[in-house]
Structure 1
Amino acid sequence: MVSATVGERRGQRIMKVWVTGAGGQLGKDMVRILGTSHQTVGFSRLGWDVAQSGISQKLLAMDPPDVVIHCAAFTQVDGSEENQREAFRVNTWGTHQLAQSCRVLGIRLVYISTDYVFSGEKAIGYVESDWPAPINVYGKTKAMGENWVRKRCPNHLILRTAWVYGHGGSNFPKGIMQRAKQGEVVRVVDDQRGSPTYTVHLAEKTKELIESPLTGTFHIAGSGDCTWYEFASEIFRYAGYSPASLVRISSQELDRKAKRPSISILRTERLPEKGVDPLTHWKVGLDDFFAEKAVVKDD
């Protein structure tokens, strides 16, 4: 369990916020960012295994928070195909229990979801009103988690995001740079398009939303879009690596167990409708990532 300090903020009620999955890259930044204005406590899996029967009700009843940010998830996309039972246990059953407990105790629930709830067939990308149609087990478990949140906890925010990266764990930019540093030829797919999202920007927008009365489903991902190869090219440019060692390939060449959506672009209609700015362009997120990299020690 990790607590964050609370900064004074004139005119803003200080809330008690709990974050599941605080050991992950997004959870860490949620605790750090929310902790600047709210009494924030982060729980790793050891402190709060959301899939354990009865544990959410027991923990929340002891000292109910105002808000739970549910970042905990079984996020291994290929691993979900091999271990479907665990993926459903964490992403669906665990979310069902948490949503039920939050409703009973009057707690607002924020569920972090994914672009993988969509099929990837819509060329212009997806907005909040598009119907989910996942094509892999991971996406199915997250879509079912969304449904339980809607059914069990009316006071909720479902925040779909995509291609998340930050300083607190393993992710695409860090993996790309590590391979380039070792002198490898880096092969990256160029037939999947999405919306890279910096964890700090996502946490800041989450903070803005929980300080508002809004409920429902919102897409929070970096504006604009790119392929994984185009994303890698920008990373190479920022890090100063030679583009000659970056090679574009097709998804078929990777031969992964789980099928990936070819289009993972998340656009938002609901944020502007509610007077809330979308996230900045994904290149701004990458710029901020490298700016902070100079002062943040990566795990």
Structure 2
Amino acid sequence: MNIVVSGAGGQLGRDVLEYFRGEKGIFITGFSRQEWDVTDSGCTRQILDGFQPDVVIHCAAYTRVDESELKPRSAYLVNVDATRQIARECGERKIRLVYISTDYVFDGKNRAGYTELDPPHPVNQYGRTKRLGEKWVQKCCPDHLILRTSWLYGKYGHNFVHTILEKAKQKEALSVVTDQVGTPTYTRHLAKQIGILIKTDAKGVFHTANGGSCSWYQFAKTILDFAGLNYPVQAISSSQLQRRARRPACSILLPARSIAEGYPVMPHWKVGLRDFFRDLRGDGG
């Protein structure tokens, strides 16, 4: 299987490359933002024609949630226009497209969480652009997987786990919201789930987050516990944080399709965090 990855310099893209390079029968090539400007249609065609992949894993995205409110055009260009172009090119060439989407396509009003059958209703610009990206993938590329995930963190790049650890190390005050609930997802586990699904004939939308749920506050406390750090965390409300973009209060992704169709589901988020620290130490492979 010949795979091409966009956004390969990001935290998920790097783990996808590492995971698949250990798989037999897989030839994978990753392109960073500098190597593949996904907003450049000519560059997209050149890469697809040159490498002739069986699968494109589209990790590239404009993920700066608050900045998307200030720069809606920038978010739209990457998350909608570029995704539409990639989906069209993949559809024309009969390439399978894996599109990484987000829990932020939901409004967060359902406290029980969301299955793949629940209607999306995003509440911020980032979520709206990712939902439009989903629609273009569905329209333009029949052979597609739309994988919604949430609260991503990994060894690489900037993320919540690294921020909490760094602030504790620097003895900075930690205030974390307690009224937003979701599921932290380890990028290495998501890479493995992508590997599982692309080896099947699965198509359509799948929820691919680690299991269970917690608030950001509970997540921060658990990070510090797993790191062996006894450091205080203050619980605050979202309104106290005063962020520009509204966040869904509850964005738990339930893997209903995987359960119904007999695909493996991802482990609990605490297992993900345990594996993250093990991988960070380099003692678990």
1:70 to 50, 58, 81: 58
Output the amino acid matched with 2:247: R
5+ residue gaps, structure 1, are: 1-14
Q: Which residue of 2 aligns with 1:275?
A: 262
Q: How is 1:98-177 mapped onto 2 (pairs within 5 angstroms)?
A: 98-177=86-165
Q: Deviations over 1:132-170 (max 9, x none)?
A: 100000000000000000000010000000000000111
1:28 to 11, 14, 28: 14
Q: Which residue of 1 aligns with 2:75?
A: 87
Task: Please state how far the C-alpha of 1:55 moved relative to its aligned partner.
Answer: 2.3
Task: Please state how far the C-alpha of 1:54 moved relative to its aligned partner.
Answer: 3.0
TM-score normalized by the length of structure 2: 0.97
Q: Match of 2:52, SS?
A: coil
Q: Which residue of 2 aligns with 1:285?
A: 272
TM-score normalized by the length of structure 1: 0.92
The 2-side partners of 1:70 and 1:52 are apart by: 14
Identity of aligned residues (%): 49
Task: Please state how far the C-alpha of 1:282 moved relative to its aligned partner.
Answer: 0.3
Runs of 4+ displaced beyond 6 Å: none
> How many residues align structurally?
281
Pair 1:225 & 2:210 matched: no
The 2-side partners of 1:285 and 1:107 are apart by: 31
Task: Please state how far the C-alpha of 1:124 moved relative to its aligned partner.
Answer: 0.3
Aligned partners of 1:54 and 1:97 also within 8 Å: no
Task: Please state how far the C-alpha of 1:53 moved relative to its aligned partner.
Answer: 3.0
Aligned partners of 1:71 and 1:111 also within 8 Å: yes
Aligned partners of 1:117 and 1:143 also within 8 Å: yes
Output the amino acid matched with 2:101: S
Q: Deviations over 1:54-104 (max 9, x none)?
A: 321222112310000000000000010011101000000000000000011
Q: Match of 2:69, SS?
A: helix
Aligned partners of 1:165 and 1:196 also within 8 Å: yes
RMSD: 0.9
Task: Please state how far the C-alpha of 1:273 moved relative to its aligned partner.
Answer: 1.6
Q: Which residue of 2 aligns with 1:235?
A: 223
Q: Which residue of 1 aligns with 2:43?
A: 55
Output the amino acid matched with 1:32: E
The 2-side partners of 1:55 and 1:206 are apart by: 25
Q: Which residue of 1 aligns with 2:244?
A: 257
Q: Match of 2:57, SS?
A: strand
Q: Deviations over 1:112-137 (max 9, x none)?
A: 00000000000101000111100000
1:202 to 181, 187, 190: 190
Q: Deviations over 1:241-280 (max 9, x none)?
A: 224x211000011111100000010001100122112111
Q: Match of 2:8, SS?
A: coil
Aligned partners of 1:117 and 1:139 also within 8 Å: yes
Output the amino acid matched with 1:77: V
Q: Match of 2:101, SS?
A: strand
Q: Which residue of 2 aligns with 1:7?
A: none
Q: Match of 2:100, SS?
A: strand
Pair 1:193 & 2:181 matched: yes
The 2-side partners of 1:184 and 1:281 are apart by: 29
Q: Deviations over 1:163-211 (max 9, x none)?
A: 0000011100110000001111210000000011000000001001111
Q: Match of 2:41, SS?
A: coil
Task: Please state how far the C-alpha of 1:106 moved relative to its aligned partner.
Answer: 1.0
